[in-house]
Amino acid sequence: MSGWQNEPFVIDVKSGETKAYCMCGLSKNGPYCDGSHSATDTEPKVITYDEDKVVYACGCQQSSNRPFCDGAHSKL
Ligand code: FES
């Protein structure tokens, strides 16, 4: 199980929370980094939020705005 899916991950984030999103596509815990990038030259996108909000994280790995959804999954 890779954890990736053909729709965005809808994530409720809280102010002060930090998330590390996978940018290499190798994580088994998508959309989050699990350290699998260590064999690549890619780093996770680490974001600390300053407000409570809902985040739509890319699940299909095809977004041109990763780690966020841009609707690319609808064309798969
Ligand atoms: S596992 Fe993909 S960026 Fe860390």
Each residue's pLDDT tens digit, 6-31: 999 999 999 999 999 999 999 999 99
Task: Give the range of the structural domain holding residue 31, as residue numbers without chain letter.
Answer: 9-75
Residue 35 lies in a domain: yes
Residue 66 lies in a domain: yes
pTM of the complete model beyond 0.85 = yes
Separation of 16 CA from ligand 1 center, angstroms?
Answer: 22
Residue 3 lies in a domain: no
Residue 48 lies in a domain: yes
Whether the predicted pLDDT of 1 surpasses 60: no
Q: How many domains does the chain have?
A: 1
Greater confidence, 2 or 19? 19
Is the N-terminal amide bond of 67 cis, ω within 30° of 0? yes
Residue 1 lies in a domain: no
| DSSP E strands, the chain | 9-13, 18-21, 45-48, 53-57
Separation of 22 CA from ligand 1 center, angstroms?
Answer: 4
Residue 2 lies in a domain: no
pLDDT tens, position by position, 26-73:
999 999 999 999 999 999 999 999 999 999 999 999 999 999 999 999
Give the pLDDT of residue 9.
Answer: 97
Cα–Cα distance between 71 and 76 in angstroms, integer?
10
Question: Ligand 1 pocket test: which of 2, 4, 21, 22 has the largest number of ligand atoms within 8 Å of its C-beta?
Answer: 22
